[in-house]
Structure formats: C-alpha cells, structure tokens
Amino acid sequence: MTLGFGLIGTGFMGKTHALAMGSVKAVMGDVPDVRLALLCDTPMAQAEARAAQFGFARATSDWRALVTDPEVDIVSITTPNGLHREMALAALAAGKHVWCEKPMALTLQDAREMAEAAERAGTVTLTGYNYIHNPAFLHAQRLIEGGRIGRPVHFRGWVDEDYQADPDLPWTWRATLADAGLGALGDLGCHLVSFAVGLMGPIESLIADTQVIHETRPLPDGSGLAAVENEDTATALLRFASGAQGSLSASRSAWGRKNRLDFEVHGTKGMIAFAQERMNELQLYVNEGPRSEQGFRTILTAPDHPPFGAFVPAPGHQLGFRDLKVLEARVLLQAIAGGAAPYPAFRDALVFEEVIHGIAQSAREERRVRFA
C-alpha cells in the first residue's frame, strides 16, 4: 500500500508534518509507504519552492483542489486555527483521511462539527497532540497502568511559554477572540489536558480562573493601543472521574519558559514527574527498598522504552521534537492500514477542547463546570 500525502500549510507545523511523513517508513518500518503527492501554500511560488525543498511531487495554491485531488489519500491541515474547520469538513467530505493540528478550531461548536463530520465520513482522523507519543510519556502511562506507583490520586501540570511575556510586544490578531479564540489555553493548555486525561482518565468537573496580564498592546502602526481579549494565564482545579483531584496551569507570559509542559502524578506508592524541556528523562520515586536509598531516579529514555529504539538503538542518544511527529504520523498510518484506532482522533481531541473551553467558561461564569 502506498498512501498519497497532501499538505496544507508549510509553516512550523507544516514543515514538521512533511518531515515526519517523509521519514516515518524509513524510521519505523511498520507503516505503509507514503508518497509526498501534493503541497499547498500561497502564493504559488512559495508552494513550488516548498514542494521542491520538502520533496513533494506537485504544488498548488488552492487548498480546495488539494482536498479533492485523486492522488491524495491523507490531508494534513496545518493552517491557522480559524481555517481548520472548513478545510477538515471539505477533506472529510471528499473521503480523505485527515491529520489536523491542535486546537481543532476556534470554538467548541466548530470542533464538535468536525468530530461529527469525521464520524460520518468514516475515514481516519488524527489531531496533533505529539507530546503524548513520546516514549517517556508512554512509559509513564505503562508504569501507572501497571500499578507501579499504586493508585494515582493527584495530578499537577504546567504548560508555560514566554512568547507573550514582553509588555512591549505589538498587538496582533492573536489577541482577539474572533480570530484566535482562546489564548494560552488554545495554544498550550490543550496539550496539558492531553497529558492529564492520558494519565488520569476523564475529568469530571473543574473550577478555574484566568488572567489577562497585558490588557492592551501597542498597535503595530503606532496609532495607539488595542485590547487583548484572550487569556495570558489559566489555572484550573480538577476533579477526575476516578475520584482523584489535581490542577493545571497554563501561561504564555512566563519569562524563561520555552516549552515547559510538565506533570507530576502522585500515587499511593510513588510518584512520576516529567518535564518537556528535558523530554528524554522521566522521574520516578517508588516507596520500596531501604528508606536510606529512596530518591527520585532520573530515567533516561532508551530502547527499553519502545518505540525509542526505532530511532536510536542506544540509550542516552536523545529524541527530538520532530521525532515525536514521526511517532504521531505512524499512529495515523497504522490506523489507515487497519491497525489500532488512532488516538487522539477528532472525537478524542474534542474531549480536550471541551476542557479548555470549560476552563474559560468556569472563569467567565465563576462556577464549577461539569463534563458528561
């Protein structure tokens, strides 16, 4: 089986998708062949340049042509979030498999529509929660499932960057509800929710607070100040369906944090902690053996933590960010080839988006928000 790959968007994530699809078979072996069939960007000159660099057979500046192109089996959507819905619906309507970056959409309503369309289409969908494919994260899940830290009773998570920390940064569309939707929650918070749910199971309810730190920003043309409409930080108190509790906090204005995405899971027999900026390490504490020798151990990911070994057969030789995208691409391809259901498909990612919108709602309405 050879699958034709069509890519819409060639920025940060678009390039990452292209690189992943271009190497996943070579790295992992256990997936169908992929043909880089068609790349879409605007203007056409840029599309052609990117297609040449990334190794695509053809280029287009018309995404509608791409989603219906007969040589395209998989459509990657890596455009600004406000465009996801329309593109995904069109691709699904054309019977394509869809790989869509997170968050799915600006509004929960749009995301729901996408999930419903995916169910109707019956094709394979996957959303871009790459961090949960990290062998370190998978190992944390295995440890918890295996009872290594007992019953998981408490969760804490943080996701922080500093790209909106500077008070002098000019105003952009990113500050608007209409064009950007949520702030830190949409950009960052949803990744943390994917961790929380992946480690602790469904969230039953939450109470939250959000904060706009920089209430206005200077307009780029120097004509004055414009309002920042979406949150710089968000923090939520979580109750999980399991009875466990926890919290999560997100900030896009946290100086010094470049890609913080950290968690700790407290269990009745031990604790697991992880920090994305050291993504090849896992911290484990277990209450066993002499107390004088107990301590958090720093586990370096290795071939002992599959599927690490597909990249490097030696421990301590790190994986990087684009390796996570290769693992994500593999999930998609294996699902298309008839393997396990992809996770998180649109219906799964909808749960994450319900949570981030629930956090915003709880803060806005000052009340507990419950999930079905």
Tell whether residue 239 is a contact of its own copies (CB under 8 A): yes
Which residue among 58, 64, 278, 347 contacts its own copies (CB under 8 A)? 278
Assign 196 to helix, strand or coil: helix
* Residue with Cβ nearer its own copies (101 or 110): 101
Structure-block tokens of residue 96: 């394509």
Q: What are the backbone dihedrals phi and psi of residue 3, each rounded to the nearest 5 degrees, phi first?
A: -105, 135
Q: Which of residues 247-266 bind its own copies (CB under 8 A)?
A: 247, 249, 251, 253-260, 266
- 120 vs 297, beta carbon nearer its own copies: 297
**Of 208-216, 217-225, 327-335, 346-354: span binding its own copies (CB under 8 A):** 208-216
Looking at residue 242, what DSSP letter applies?
T
Residue from 62, 71, 145, 277 binding its own copies (CB under 8 A): 277
* Closest-CA residue to 67 (of 79, 82, 80): 79
Query: Distance (Å, rounded) from C-alpha 78 to C-alpha 63?
Result: 12
β 270-275/281-286 pair status: antiparallel
Within a 10 A sphere around the Cβ of 33, how many other Cβ atoms?
10
Shortest separation between residue 204's beta carbon and its own copies, angstroms = 12
C-alpha distance from residue 195 to each of 129, 159, 246, 310 (Å):
9, 11, 12, 23
Place of tokens 């959409």: 105
Q: Which is nearer to its own copies, 19 or 83 (CB)?
A: 19
Residue number, 126 or 140, with CB nearest to its own copies: 140
Residue 315 binds its own copies, judged by CB under 8 A? yes
Rule CB under 8 A: choose which of 120, 364, 368, 370 binds its own copies. Answer: 368
Is residue 158 within 8 A of residue 234, CB to CB? The reply is: no
The answer to whether residue 27 forms part of the interface with its own copies (CB under 8 A) is yes
List the Cα angle 192/262/28 in 5-degree steps. Answer: 80
* Cβ nearer to its own copies, comparing 12 with 122: 12
Contact 188, 159 (CB under 8 A): yes
Q: Are 136 and 308 in contact (CB under 8 A)?
A: no
Residue 90 CB, shortest distance to its own copies, in Å, is: 27
Report CA dihedral (144, 304, 18, 89) to the nearest 10 degrees: -30
| Interacting residues of 75 by C-beta distance below 8 A, sequence separation 6+ | 6, 8, 66, 67, 87, 91, 96, 97, 98, 99
Among 1, 42, 44, 55, binds its own copies (CB under 8 A): 55
Q: Which stretch binds its own copies (CB under 8 A): 39-47, 95-103, 174-182, 281-289?
A: 281-289
Distance CA(71)–CA(169), nearest Å, equals 43
The smaller minimum CB distance to its own copies, of residues 49 and 351, is found at 49
Q: By CB under 8 A, tell whether 321 contacts its own copies.
A: yes
Interacting residues with its own copies between 333 and 352 (CB under 8 A): none
Which residues between 115 and 154 bind its own copies (CB under 8 A)? 139, 143, 148-150, 153-154
Compare residues 83 and 212 and give the one whose CB is closer to its own copies.
Answer: 212
Distance of closest approach, residue 310 Cβ to its own copies, in angstroms? 9
**293 binds its own copies per the rule CB under 8 A:** yes
Nearest distance from C-beta of residue 160 to its own copies, angstroms:
8
Burial (Cβ within 10 Å: 0-12, 13-18, ≥19) of residue 106: buried
Among 83, 169, 312, 351, binds its own copies (CB under 8 A): 312
For its own copies, the closer of residues 89 and 369 by Cβ is: 369
Exactly one of 59, 185, 271, 349 binds its own copies (CB under 8 A); that residue is: 271
The tokens of 103 are what? 């968050």
Residue 174 makes contact with its own copies by CB under 8 A: no
Q: Which is nearer to its own copies, 117 or 319 (CB)?
A: 319
